Chains A and B, each alone.
Chain A
Amino acid sequence: MALRIWASSTANALKLSTATRPHFSPLSRCFSSVLDGFKYANSHEWVKHERSLATIGITDHAQDHLGEVVFVDLPETGGSVTKATGFGAVESVKATSDINSPISGEIVEVNSKLSETPGLINSSPYEDGWMIKVKPSNPSELESLMGAKEYTKFCEEEDAAH
């Protein structure tokens, strides 16, 4: 418990020191990173909305808890996703874990690199490990998602509860 308190204090201190960084900046360096400017679902997926396109992946928190990803099952382009509904799965350790879409829309691109290199999800969850790009059908859905600070707190509370 003492170690957790120390770690949490350190993480908070680091968050304060990076608060003035540009748009997509890490709020925490100590443990799982959370990027400012992204939106987050309570099932640990992220969305980066730029102009008319939304990129979706799983968070650093999620990849850390899942372990080494060895296989990714993604849908085809042209299909659709629905908010809070599964669109694919990752395999890690001995488990398949659903990936849920934070928003609804049409899939316009799928990250084909993940079939050969699923470990990109672990090494680069917010960049090279992106999963799908979606044309949002209802951009207002983004408003119900968490911002970076809220998601950071959500993760801390979730971990503390277990």
Chain B
Amino acid sequence: MLEMATRQVARAGLPLMNIVRMKGVPILQQLEIEERLLRTSSNNWCIINDGTDKPSIVMGISGKPAELVEIRPVVEDKVPVIRRFTGGGTVVVDHGTIFVSFICNKDDVAGVQPYPRPIMSWSSLLYSHVFQGVADFRLRENDYVFGLRKFGGNAQSITKNRWIHHTSFLWDYEARNMSYLKLPKRTPEYRLARDHLDFICPMKDYLSRPDFIAKTIDAAGSLFSVESTEFEAVKPSSNMEFAPTSRLLTIKELEAACKTSI
């Protein structure tokens, strides 16, 4: 079902996009699905994961745990630390996070060059439709914000002919979990040296979960001919040969990072 040799074009003349809705799928599994679809599928996908099963820290491809994470409490509290296949920064995700990922053939997104900034701009246009009339939404540097407060973090991976742009939306979060993160070396200018909790805001103050997901699917439907695909069709199976690069860091790796940071 996944292996289609040709790009699908629906009757409306818009490229087809398969929408996969998930709930509570572990973030590592979501990342594995996404990377496999990016690299082995020729279709367009929108993956929506409404919350993940347990709090986890997710770093970008070049993330160094000693610099980004408070390792001692993370190890003591047994919080998983994952390095994902896309770029970007570090997030803490849990049941309050809503994930939306777009995996696209570059030729199916007209007028958007397959580079970070054009893709980022394209995504902000899509989400401006979602939040129209709801809140003062904008893309500020590389974050989605309401005013000056970040509620969505973005990351991408770009191959020769395809790309993924995925977002973790803070529909809600626990302040305690945010304390696992250190202030990174690189921060956006608009953060203005604010503490993390003064820098972010929850989306729940503006939109319910069902409304956000419905509006996102509607916005995607203005650019693509959307069709629903069951999670069972994309979830990993034992006979899949693709080796994902996102992985869980081991306790040994975290403890070693802790020692080198002293």
Contact = CB atoms under 8 A, between A and B. Distances in A.
Given A66-B115, A67-B117, A70-B62, A94 B158 contact: no
Given A70-B62, A71-B62, A94 B156 contact: yes
A43 interface: yes
Interface stretch (B22-30, B84-92, B254-262): B84-92
Contacts of A86: 159-160
Most chain A C-beta atoms within 10 Å of own C-beta, residue among B61, B112, B120: B61
Interface string A27-66: 0000000000000000100000000000000000000011
A92 interface: yes
B145 interface: no
B89 A94 contact: yes
Contacts of B88: 94-95
A91 interface: yes
A98 B87 contact: no
Nearest to B155: A94
B160 A95 contact: no
A5 B156 CA distance: 32
Interface in A67-95: 67, 70-71, 73, 84, 86, 89, 91-95
Contacts, number: 75
A89 B61 CA distance: 10
B221 interface: no
B111 interface: yes
B155 A98 contact: no
B60 A94 contact: yes
Interface in B58-106: 60-62, 85-89
Given A70-B62, A91-B61, A93-B120, A98 B113 contact: no
B154 interface: yes
B73 to A, nearest CB: 26
Given A43-B160, A73-B61, A100-B160, A94 B116 contact: yes
A97 interface: yes
22 contacts: A43-B160, A65-B113, A65-B117, A66-B115, A66-B116, A67-B115, A70-B62, A71-B62, A71-B87, A94-B60, A94-B154, A94-B156, A95-B87, A95-B88, A95-B158, A96-B87, A97-B115, A98-B160, A100-B160, A158-B113, A162-B112, A162-B118
Interface of A: 43, 65-67, 70-71, 73, 84, 86, 89, 91-98, 100, 158-159, 161-162
Q: Which 4 A-B pairs have the closest CB atoms?
A: A71-B62, A94-B88, A95-B156, A93-B116
Given A71-B87, A95-B116, A97-B116, 6 more contacts: A73-B61, A86-B159, A93-B120, A94-B88, A96-B156, A159-B113
